[in-house]
Structures are given as structure tokens and as C-alpha cells.
Structure 1
Amino acid sequence: MRVLKVFTVIFILFWSGSLCPSFAQELKFGHLNVQKLIAELPEKINADKELQQEAKKLQDQLEVMTKELDEKYKSYMAQRDSLSDLIRATREKEIQDYDQRIQNFNKLAQQSLSQKEQKLLQPIIEKVQKAINAVGEEQGLIYIFDTGSNVVLYNSPQSIDCEDLVKAKLQEMREAEK
């Protein structure tokens, strides 16, 4: 669907250029790889470290819980034949409940990490978008294509690589925040 939209836009632009050559000569396009740009930002690197630390804490807790479950299960198996039916059923229920708690913890941990990642990345993405918009306006660009999304069908040498411009704009914004 996105490819169809890009084809349509390009067709309209080339068609209007053939009817009005002076209009076509004024069109300026830019490109950059947004994923690469974001991955190299200090803010993203710090966010990744914070997310990894949180993931490690949750993984450590999950390992502790799993070890406890294994110990409960081994203890139960060693004593199973000597337990009365009521105690055996109670212990089995405890093991099942604890296993369910571990599964719930794992699910909640994944949700928590996902929410934290979104919370950490949202301001970075907004800042990058603001810088991209500023570069687009400053350079008089009609479109800036993201080369990392495989949507660009043709990348002319006349297309302006905006990555360095956006990096400079982000640096400018960082310095203005201080």
C-alpha cells in the first residue's frame, strides 16, 4: 500500500514536471536512515542501557522464582510417596499456583519492559522528528525519505542526504536545552 502511494506521488511529480518544467526544477527531496540515526544518538544509547538494567533485574527475579519452583518440585517428588492424599494434593496445588505466578510475572515483566521502552523512546523520536522537520523547512525540501524503510524506489545523486543535517540540528537542540 505504501509503495502504491509512493508511485502515485512520484508519478504526479514527474507528470507535473513534464507540464511545467520550472515547477519540477524547484522540487527538492532529501533522504536519511532514521533507524541508524536514532541508534547512534547518545540519548538512545543511554535509554538502551537503562532498559537492559531493568531487564536484568526482572530476569534475575524470574531466575530466583524458577529456582524456588524447582526446589519445591524436587522436595515434593522426594516425599510424594510418604504424603497423605490431602497433603499431596495441597502441595501439588501449591506448585501449580507458584508456576502460574511465575508465568504471570514473566508476562507482566514483558509488558513492563515494553512500556518502559516506549516511555524512553517517545521523547527521542519526537526530538528527531522535530529536527527532521526543521531541516526539511530550512533546506526547502518537498519530502525526506527514510532509506531504512525500503520505501525509496530511486535515490538520485541530487537527493540531499539529510542525516548530517539532522544530527547537527539535534546537537543544536541539545545545546539550546542546556
Structure 2
Amino acid sequence: MMNKIKTLVVAFLLISFASFAQSSDQPLKIGYTNVEFILLQLPESKQIESQLKDHSTVLENQLKGKYADYENKLQAYEKGAATMDKTIREDKEKELMNLNNSIQEFQRNAQQSLQQKEKSLVDPVIAKIDKAIKDVAKENGYTYVISNQALLAGPEDGDISPLVLKKLGVDPSKAKAAEPAATKPAATTPAKTPAKTPAKNNKKKN
């Protein structure tokens, strides 16, 4: 999940870090922070991960149900195709084709649903972090705040992450030292893919 969030964080970094105007007699003061790091410290981070996992599991179970239905009907078709009337056989083939198409469409929609769910959960938290960064910058006289991911060198006192965490109600001393391994939500596709729909011109077995 956290790997996916990186994309949203990068987009945020490109458009949301603001400059803060000061009078000309004040020195230039530049601070830096890491939005992704701050996000990982917030309780919302685990909540987002849990909700995405639950949503993904629901989608996966629905897809598995569709796949099981397809498999059962395919096996029944293959078992009885040789003795089926042509009209019935063609109707079964059409049904299998429709089920196959339905599975493929569901897979596409499930991926989009997961992405939309993720964005709806992450965006409000990113907005809250954005506000906290801007508030800290104004309160402490920073002219600019940049991402430390683009910083090659800088003084330790330029890191405003502890101040931002305090602003967000998180104890900086309890912050994780490093980003934990990303946890991927349950897959939204089964291990196997549906077999091809039988051709309509099957010949009866002798």
C-alpha cells in the first residue's frame, strides 16, 4: 500500500510546498521535511492500510466467486457437450463467453475501485500534513520548505519534521527511524485466469 501512496505524495510535493513571503530585511530561511515519513508516523497510516486491505479482500472474494461459477459451468459444458443439442450447446457457449467477459471487466473495475478508494483515504491526510507544514513554516519564519528527498546537504536544524509531527499531535521521539516494509493489499485477481470459451463449432464425439 505504501508504495502506491508514494505516487500521491510525489504529486503533492510537486504542487503543494509553498513559499512564505517575508520582508526584505529578513534573512532567507529554508526548511525541509519528508511528507511520506510524516504520513507513516500518523495513526491514519495504519487505518488507511487496513481499510485498503479490507476493500481489496472483498473485491478478491467477489472475483473468486465469479471464477468458480465459470469453472463449474465450463466443466459441465465439457462433460456434456458431445450429447447436447446444437441450440443448447450454442447457448452454453454464449453463456461461458459472457461469464469470461464479465470476469475480465470485473478485474479492470476492481483495480480502478482500489485506486479510487486509496485516493479518497490518502488525500485528506495529505491535505492535513500540507496545512501543518505551512503553519510550522509561518510560525518559525521559514521562507521556503522543500522535500528532503531533493536535498543533497543541509543543517540538522533545517529539518522541520519534528515540528510538523508535534503540530499533528505525534511525539517526534516515538517516530519510526525508517520506513517499514510496504504491505501490499490482497490481490484483486485469482492465481489462475479463466480458460478460453469453447469454440462454437465443436464436433460431437463418436
Give the alignment's TM-score, normalised by structure 2: 0.66
How do residues 157-168 of structure 1 correspond to structure 2 at under 5 angstroms?
157=155, 160-168=158-166
Instruction: Supply the distance in 2 between the matched residues of 1:60 and 1:113 (Cα, whole angstroms).
Output: 14
Which string of whole-angstrom CA distances, capped at 9 and with x for unpartnered residues, describes residues 109-133 of structure 1?
2222211111111110110000000
Long gaps (5+) in structure 2: 1-23, 171-206
**How does 1:61-76 map onto structure 2 within 5 Å?**
61-76=62-77
Are residue 108 (structure 1) and residue 109 (structure 2) matched?
yes
2:125 corresponds to which letter in structure 1? I
* Matched residue SS, 1:78: helix
Q: Does 1:59 align with 2:60?
A: yes
Amino acid at match of 2:162: D
Q: Distance between the aligned counterparts of 1:158 and 1:102, measured in 2?
A: 53
Unmatched 5+ stretches in structure 1: 1-21, 173-178
Kindly indicate which of the two structures has a greater share of residues assigned to helix. 1
> Which residue does the alignment assign to 1:89?
90
- Give the equivalent residue in structure 2 for 1:144: 145
CA contact (8 A) 1:31 1:159 kept: no
Q: Secondary structure of the residue that 1:30 maps to in structure 2?
A: strand
d(CA) in 1 for partners of 2:154, 2:117: 39
Alignment partner for residue 171 of structure 1, among 169, 181, 197?
Answer: 169
3-state DSSP of counterpart to 2:154: coil
| Structure 2 partner of 1:175 | none
Single out whichever of 102-111 and 92-101 deviates more from structure 2. Answer: 102-111
User: SS state of the match for residue 99, structure 1?
Assistant: helix
- Work out the percentage of aligned pairs sharing the same amino acid: 33
Q: C-alpha offsets along residues 21-68 of structure 1, whole Å, 9 cap, x if unaligned? A: x96x81111111111211221012112111110110110111111111
2:3 aligned partner? none
What does residue 10 of structure 1 align with?
A: none
Query: Runs ≥4 in structure 1, deviation > 2 angstroms?
Result: none
Displacement after TM superposition at 1:100 (Å): 1.0
Distance apart, 1:147 and its partner CA: 2.0
User: Matches of 1:147 and 1:91 in 2, distance apart?
Assistant: 60
